[in-house]
């Protein structure tokens, strides 16, 4: 970790009720800073818990290619390494190798006891400059490490969300087994779609300015 990084040349990526996300130079190396001190007063507790959860997840995933490296977390700012690439909705990966590598990446996460939990959002998937997959935004990840029934169910949903993206951009490469998985969401996913999803979308759009799967949010002053 970087103990006291020198931060220069910030470039704003997103600023909303949960704080600011910027590209900065950390002692001459490009990285990403999440600053929760800029969060609205009513959202600061949630912003802190989300950033702390992301820090725990990244620490447990240290050394995995395709996952940002945790550089620092002091309770106010989270610094992680920068991964060069484009978000999925821009790159629109059509190469079956991308999805094979993405499945391997998810398997590595799950072996370390981490479930991402937010892979329906295309911006959380990156296509690196060399075409390989990467994952970002671990704010609501499962980090408990326990691998019981709930863990397995959530891990399966990680995979199913990846397959939904594969269906969008590379449908011809879906296997029969993968198509079956797509058509059988987990019970909690069916319950969520039937009950809480509409309320979640309303809050996400009205409060945070998030629209569909773009995941950008509004930029506030």
Per DSSP, helices labelled H in the chain are 44-60, 88-91, 96-111, 149-169, 176-182, 187-194, 197-206
pTM: 0.84
pLDDT of residue 130: 96
Other CB atoms within 10 Å distance of the CB of residue 50: 22
Mean pLDDT along residues 194-212: 51
Burial class (CB in 10 A: 0-12, 13-18, 19+), 81: middle
Residues spanned by the domain of 69: 7-81
Name the pLDDT band for 66 (thresholds 50, 70, 90): very high
Final residue before a domain boundary, out of 17, 52, 81: 81
Same domain? For 165 and 74 the reply is: no
Q: Is residue 104 part of a domain?
A: yes
pLDDT of residue 171: 98
Final residue before a domain boundary, out of 56, 81, 106: 81
Q: What is the pLDDT of residues 13-36, one digit of tens each?
A: 999 889 999 999 988 889 999 999
pLDDT of residue 210: 52
* pLDDT at 160 > cutoff 50: yes
The CA–CA distances, whole Å, from 110 to 47, 104, 157 equal 25, 10, 12
Report which of residues 81 and 10 the model is more confident about: 81
Same domain? For 112 and 63 the reply is: no
pLDDT of residue 5: 64
Q: Is residue 71 part of a domain?
A: yes
SS3 track for 72-130: EECCCEEEEECCCEEEHHHHCCCCHHHHHHHHHHHHHHHHCCCECCCCCCHHHEEEECC
CATH code for the domain of 68 = 3.30.200.20
Same domain? For 197 and 90 the reply is: yes
Report which of residues 152 and 211 the model is more confident about: 152
Mean pLDDT along residues 98-110: 98
Mean pLDDT along residues 133-159: 92
| Cα angle, residue 155 at apex, residues 149 and 156 outer, rounded to 5° | 90
* Total of domains in the chain: 2
Q: Which residues pair with 81 in a beta bridge?
A: 31
Lowest mean pLDDT among 78-92, 115-129, 200-214: 200-214
The mean pLDDT value of the chain amounts to 86
Same domain? For 151 and 92 the reply is: yes
pLDDT of residue 218: 43
CA 159 to chain centre: 14
Rounded CA separation 161/158 (Å):
5
Same domain? For 116 and 176 the reply is: yes
124 contact partners, CB below 8 Å, separation of at least 6: 87, 116, 118, 135, 136, 137, 215
Q: Is residue 215 part of a domain?
A: no
- Which residue's entry shows tokens 């509004």? 218
pLDDT of residue 192: 47
pLDDT of residue 205: 54
Same domain? For 62 and 115 the reply is: no
pLDDT of residue 219: 42
* pLDDT at 82 > cutoff 50: yes
Closest CA to 44 of 36, 33, 53: 36
pLDDT of residue 9: 78
């Amino acid at each position: 970790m970087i103990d006291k990084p020198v931060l220069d040349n910030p470039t704003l990526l997103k600023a909303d009720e949960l704080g600011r996300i910027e590209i900065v130079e950390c002692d001459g190396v490009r990285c990403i800073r999440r600053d929760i001190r800029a969060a609205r007063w009513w959202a600061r507790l949630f912003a802190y818990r989300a950033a702390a959860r992301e820090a725990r997840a990244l620490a447990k995933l240290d050394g995995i290619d395709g996952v940002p490296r945790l550089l620092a977390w002091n309770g106010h700012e989270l610094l992680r390494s920068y991964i060069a690439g484009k978000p999925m909705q821009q790159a629109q990966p059509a190469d079956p190798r991308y999805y094979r590598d993405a499945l391997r990446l998810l398997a590595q996460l799950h072996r370390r006891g981490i479930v991402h939990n937010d892979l329906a959002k295309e911006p959380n998937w990156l296509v690196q400059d060399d075409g390989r997959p990467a994952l970002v935004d671990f704010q609501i990840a499962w980090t408990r490490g326990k691998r019981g029934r709930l863990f397995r169910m959530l891990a399966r949903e990680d995979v199913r969300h990846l397959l939904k993206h594969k269906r969008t951009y590379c449908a011809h490469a879906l296997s029969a087994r993968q198509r079956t998985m797509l058509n059988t969401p987990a019970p909690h996913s069916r319950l969520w779609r039937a009950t809480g999803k509409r309320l979640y979308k309303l809050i996400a759009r009205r409060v945070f300015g998030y629209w569909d799967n773009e995941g950008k949010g509004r930029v506030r002053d």
